[in-house]
Structure 1
């Protein structure tokens, strides 16, 4: 089974100022976000990626470009509308502090499956189209490159949280329990029996073990021996 590394874009000026950017054009990484993207690119440099798929928004494309600069190979670089930011509709561009006073806010926090943004999309629609896009690309990369293929998807906080919730078998109403930092790395493998969530929201750590042959698809009873049992020694 292939492996997808879910990377959130680095911090933006909107993130730093508490603005819900949504799909607003021209929202780019700030100095901190560029440093975060560089650190993530350094972590991923030891992993031979077959593809880096990005949301079309600038902040994700910037983060993807930094990752690609540290890759020795030639990963394909498709842009995927299915993992673009949620369409927050009338909420887009507003301050989070002001949105917290809206009647819809507690629904988004506690029952997101019932939340639909005025003039935008529902959170269920957001999850459905993002999960479909990730699974479609994952199947294509595995078919072309084999079960050891590793690829990156650069997307947004709520998108990645909804993908992780699906992989964990969680109802969307529980997805606010998941946290995804800017430029963080989460890792999922999709198998015939079930998805395996390998990591969530990591900001540091060695990823060289991902160069090895992937573990068996069946879950190891008792927890298994960990990455060291499968990974080759770093060169």
Structure 2
């Protein structure tokens, strides 16, 4: 089975604000072009299942893929954005002044955002969902999500410690191919970009 892990396309707050679950931003014009480019990449693929985070930026990306693949896009909470708690909606330059933010970025395996979700909890919910998909009688699936959930999944299947999260970069509109069999899991393609 192939599972394509797709990060949503670009939006206007990208790189400036930690949107998290607090700001349900949609795609900007560049992001819409990226989403169409991703969709074109899948237009001639047989896709059995298309699931997405419930966030608008992910749903808009998935909608374009769904049109190209003739698949219904199903929102799934397991693919939702990381719950960044009290940090959601803050600008990154503000977060840089917070000592807890620095701890989060140095000790991702044990730190927790204030009133938020640990990386371990995030990884558990995403991997449990992917493992449930593994048991389905399908050949290929697309999961549209966000940087942190995709990063958490890749780190699990590559055996990378959570504290080493910076080894795994997940760019906007990138595609990561996870190949699953009954006995093996392998990331076969990593950070492939659809050119808009």
Confirm or deny a common fold (TM above 0.5). yes
Measure, in 2, the Cα distance between the counterparts of 1:23 and 1:195.
Answer: 30
**Segments ≥4 residues shifted beyond 3 Å:** none
Partner of residue 173 from structure 2, selected from 183, 191, 196: 183
2:2 is matched with: 3
> Aligned residues, how many?
195
2:25 is matched with: 27
2:41 is matched with: 43
Q: Which has the higher contact order (CA 8 A, sep 6+)?
A: 2
SS at match of 1:134: helix
Contact 2:66 2:72 survives alignment (8 Å): no
Contact 1:23 1:87 survives alignment (8 Å): yes
1:161 is matched with: 151
TM alignment of 1:1-235, pairs within 5 A? 2-15=1-14, 18-71=16-69, 73=70, 75-140=71-136, 143=137, 145=138, 149-204=139-194
The alignment's C-alpha RMSD in Å is 1.5
Check 1:96–1:54 CA distance in 2 against 1; reply closer, same or farther (3 A cut). Answer: same
Measure, in 1, the Cα distance between the counterparts of 2:126 and 2:8.
Answer: 16
More strand, by proportion: 2
Measure, in 1, the Cα distance between the counterparts of 2:82 and 2:191.
Answer: 19
SS at match of 2:120: helix
Deviation (angstroms), 1:122: 1.2
Measure, in 1, the Cα distance between the counterparts of 2:182 and 2:66.
Answer: 30
The C-alpha deviation readout for 1:115-137, integer Å capped at 9, x for no partner, is 21101111111111111112212
Measure, in 2, the Cα distance between the counterparts of 1:60 and 1:79.
Answer: 9
Contact 1:21 1:92 survives alignment (8 Å): yes
TM-score of the aligned structures, taking structure 1 as reference length: 0.79
Contact 2:104 2:113 survives alignment (8 Å): no
The C-alpha deviation readout for 1:110-163, integer Å capped at 9, x for no partner, is 2201121101111111111111112212322xx2x3xxx111000000110110
